[in-house]
Amino acid sequence: MSDKLQGAREYILRKIEDGSLPGGTKLPAAREYAGKCGVSLAIMQMAFTSLTSDGILHSVPRQGTYVREDWRNRILPGSFQTFRPVWKEVLGDLIARDLPNVRVCDKFKKGMYEIVTTWTAQFRQEEYLDLAGFLEEVYPDRSDFFMSQFHSACSREGRLYGIPLIFSPWVIACNVDMIRAAGAEVPQPGWLWEDFLTLVRRLRKIYSADQTLSLLPLSSLWVNLLFRSGGAIIVRENGQYEVRLDDPRTLNGFRRIFELQQLLGGERHITTFAEATQAFLNGETALFSGTREDMNFHSTMNWTCVPLPLVPGGSDRQRQASDLFCVRKQVNNFDEVKAMLRLLLSSEVQEKLGKIRYGIPIRRSAAIHSIDEEDPRDSIFFSEMARIAPDCTLAWPELYRMVFRCMDRIWEDHLTPEEVVPELASAMRVFIRYNMPQAAAAPAFFTQKE
């Protein structure tokens, strides 16, 4: 695409994104836009035609060209979409420098290239390209990467549908002032589940449920509680997937969730994880289950963090949170895919992430440099790295949705785990039996030593 054509397209797209041309609006004549943009009429007509082909505009014979009502749902070639502003801040200038044909699109719902959470990537994994071969070609030497963290983005067929750029363990972040105002002690590493409940009881005496704990039924805290109890949803052994949802240890974890739900009670107004995160960062919540990328280390709020509480008889392990780079299967420029990987995993980008302490960079060298040895909060995040265990449930998005609905029922309808879990576990076993892939080997690059 020529620079002039790209400039003409960009002129129209900016007007659409900034609201000057809302969906359904008729565009002025191509000749008028050509004069304003400083290109020939032929170039502007080509811009109209190409954006029509991309589904952003539509032409009505003898009437004119209009902005489509659903333009936000379209996926532009070379478009790059992220779910957090920090990525645009870190990558904006670098993409403009190294990849001028890639466009950062923060007004579109999807992009050809995306940075998404583990949870989002898992449920969209069939939409994404297998990146294993690209990774091997661009980075044949992966000794500087935390390769074990790539397991969270593998499908059950062994496809690598996402590349982790940063990752983090989960912790309990604490608003020190709110906890002390309730007459409670700030928790310390090594605390137990009963210590956690005791703290929640104390906080509930003066705070609402939302002020006590930024917890959502769909947050990762409940899955981590299953892990901490020694249970799991699905495990993989000897190449086979096995349901552990109704294992006594997993049921023990569900009981802990039920116990917490009973203790919190009350009407909850926080409905998204973004709202829960912001409530804690605003100093409105005493406790928050979050990751390193969720936190603001430069905040004036007096906060600290501790590992997730231990469950007696359980295990000291937890799940991983990641920001994953994914590429849609519609992509047709494989050289651009490799260039994106080369940039995102470069030492330059990884070091920039480390300097702002956004998650833990996937490069070991950048991760080491990102540690503030004088900040005890960082020691918690980096010590908990060793507790991260693979979650094979991520390879079964259909079943994960079922478990989420199960959690909704337990949480909202005040059901006991024994009323829901056994039936769900049986259904999951039937599903796996008839949907087990013929070959579920891990990608070959996992055999390289870290």
Summarize the confidence of residues 183-212 as an average pLDDT: 95
Higher pLDDT, 187 or 273: 187
The CATH code belonging to domain 171-319+391-435 is: 3.40.190.10
CA-nearest of 27, 439, 391, 357 to 233 is 391
Summarize the confidence of residues 408-437 as an average pLDDT: 86
CA-nearest of 105, 154, 147, 149 to 125 is 154
Summarize the confidence of residues 31-51 as an average pLDDT: 91
CA-nearest of 79, 89, 85 to 56 is 79
For residue 64, CA distances in Å to 14, 61, 193 come to: 20, 7, 65
pLDDT tens-digit readout, 368-379: 999 998 999 999
| pLDDT at residue 6, as a whole number | 87
| pLDDT at residue 442, as a whole number | 54
CA atoms of 329 and 340, how far apart (whole Å):
15
Residue 446: which pLDDT band, with cuts at 50, 70 and 90?
A: low
CA-nearest of 348, 411, 399, 431 to 122 is 399
CATH architecture for segment(s) 3-73: Orthogonal Bundle (1.10)
Residue 215: which pLDDT band, with cuts at 50, 70 and 90?
A: low
Question: Does the pLDDT at position 219 exceed 70?
Answer: no
pTM given for the model:
0.91
Return the structure tokens found at 81.
């979409």
| pLDDT at residue 205, as a whole number | 94
User: CA angle 390-394-395, nearest 5°?
Assistant: 105
CA atoms of 310 and 295, how far apart (whole Å):
22
Domains 79-169+321-370 and 171-319+391-435 are alike in CATH topology: yes
Question: Does the pLDDT at position 266 exceed 70?
Answer: no
Return the structure tokens found at 136.
């091997």
Summarize the confidence of residues 327-342 as an average pLDDT: 96
CA-nearest of 319, 313, 108, 346 to 222 is 319
Which helix (H) or strand (E) covers residue 253, if one does?
Answer: helix 248-264
User: CA angle 132-345-113, nearest 5°?
Assistant: 65
Quote the mean pLDDT of the chain.
90
Summarize the confidence of residues 360-385 as an average pLDDT: 95
Residue 217: which pLDDT band, with cuts at 50, 70 and 90?
A: very low
- Residue 433 burial (CB count, 10 A): 9
Domain ranges of the chain: 3-73, 79-169+321-370, 171-319+391-435
Residue 408: which pLDDT band, with cuts at 50, 70 and 90?
A: confident
Residue 449: which pLDDT band, with cuts at 50, 70 and 90?
A: very low
> Torsion angle, CA of 75/76/80/85, rounded to 10 degrees?
-70
Name the pairing type of β-strands 163-168 and 321-327.
antiparallel
| pLDDT at residue 401, as a whole number | 85
Q: Is 341 within 8 Å of 135 (Cβ atoms)?
A: yes
Summarize the confidence of residues 64-75 as an average pLDDT: 94
| pLDDT at residue 252, as a whole number | 92
Return the structure tokens found at 61.
């014979």
User: CA angle 218-270-317, nearest 5°?
Assistant: 35
> Torsion angle, CA of 23/28/34/36, rounded to 10 degrees?
-90
CA-nearest of 70, 131, 168, 199 to 345 is 131
| pLDDT at residue 450, as a whole number | 45
Residue 163: which pLDDT band, with cuts at 50, 70 and 90?
A: very high
CA atoms of 150 and 443, how far apart (whole Å):
10
Q: From the CA atom positions of the chain, what is the Rg in Å?
A: 24
Name the CATH superfamily housing domain 79-169+321-370: Periplasmic binding protein-like II (3.40.190.10)
Please name the amino acid found at residue 16: I
Q: What SS3 state is found at 289?
A: strand
Which helix (H) or strand (E) covers residue 251, if one does?
Answer: helix 248-264
CA atoms of 221 and 264, how far apart (whole Å):
15
